[in-house]
């Protein structure tokens, strides 16, 4: 028996709460619209974007108040719901404007980053080309500084031996120099 009473009490409470929520929701459109419009109307940065939506919301809320004063509750609720919708449109316009500004700033930053990357790439390519030219010059200088010898030691006519000393009894062959700098006594 107690369970059936608790169940009946629960059903009754849920019906009362549901009715209270429905009643509050009907009259709540005006309060929600006012809460949304308050910051939107004071936002000077977005005034030009939201002006028409705010005007429409205020007109709908005023129409709802006049209809409520004339005891036309159903149409008053519809007008207030319309006012709430216009207030939400104004709020969404502010959000869209902010999102558009953020996207523009991000796009410009991406463009700047792309231009910066292109400049850095050009500088890197220039540095690589300069390094290649310097390496080629260095290789050319190193190849010029090396002698064109094939052997590690110089060769001589007698096979690398010590030249004989001229004896005092034997006169050495007369040597004469020619204008080309070649010894006449030297063998070709």
When mean pLDDT is compared across 53-62, 93-102, 154-163, 179-188, the lowest value belongs to: 179-188
Chain centroid, CA 61 distance in Å = 45
Alpha carbon distance 73, 133 (integer Å): 89
DSSP H or E segment with residue 58: helix 47-69
User: pTM above 0.75?
Assistant: no
pLDDT, tens digit (0-9, with 9 covering 90-100), for 114-153: 999 999 999 999 999 999 999 999 998 888 876 656 655 6
* Sequence spans of domains, the chain: 14-138
Predicted pLDDT of residue 143: 87
Q: Answer left, alpha or beta for residue 71, where phi above 0 means left and psi between -120 and 50 means alpha.
A: left
Least confident piece of the model among 26-40, 97-111, 167-181: 167-181
Mean pLDDT calculated for residue range 44-73: 93
Estimate to the nearest angstrom the gap between the alpha carbon of 88 and the chain centroid.
33
């Amino acid at each position: 028996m107690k369970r059936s009473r608790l169940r009946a009490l629960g059903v009754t409470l849920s019906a009362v709460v549901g009715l209270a929520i429905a009643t509050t929701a009907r009259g709540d459109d005006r309060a929600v619209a006012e809460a949304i419009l308050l910051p939107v109307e004071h936002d000077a940065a977005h005034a030009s974007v939201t002006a028409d939506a705010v005007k429409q919301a205020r007109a709908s809320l005023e129409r709802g108040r006049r209809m409520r004063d004339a005891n036309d509750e159903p149409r008053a609720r519809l007008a207030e719901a319309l006012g709430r919708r216009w207030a939400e449109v104004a709020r969404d316009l502010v959000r869209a404007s902010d999102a558009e500004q953020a996207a523009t700033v991000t796009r410009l930053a991406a463009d700047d980053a792309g231009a910066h990357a292109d400049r850095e790439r050009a500088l890197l390519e220039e540095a690589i080309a300069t390094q290649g030219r310097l390496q080629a010059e260095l290789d050319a200088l190193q190849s010029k500084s090396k002698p064109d010898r094939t052997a590690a030691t110089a060769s001589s006519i007698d096979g690398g031996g010590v030249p004989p000393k001229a004896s005092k009894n034997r006169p050495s062959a007369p040597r004469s120099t020619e204008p080309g700098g070649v010894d006449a006594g030297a063998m070709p």
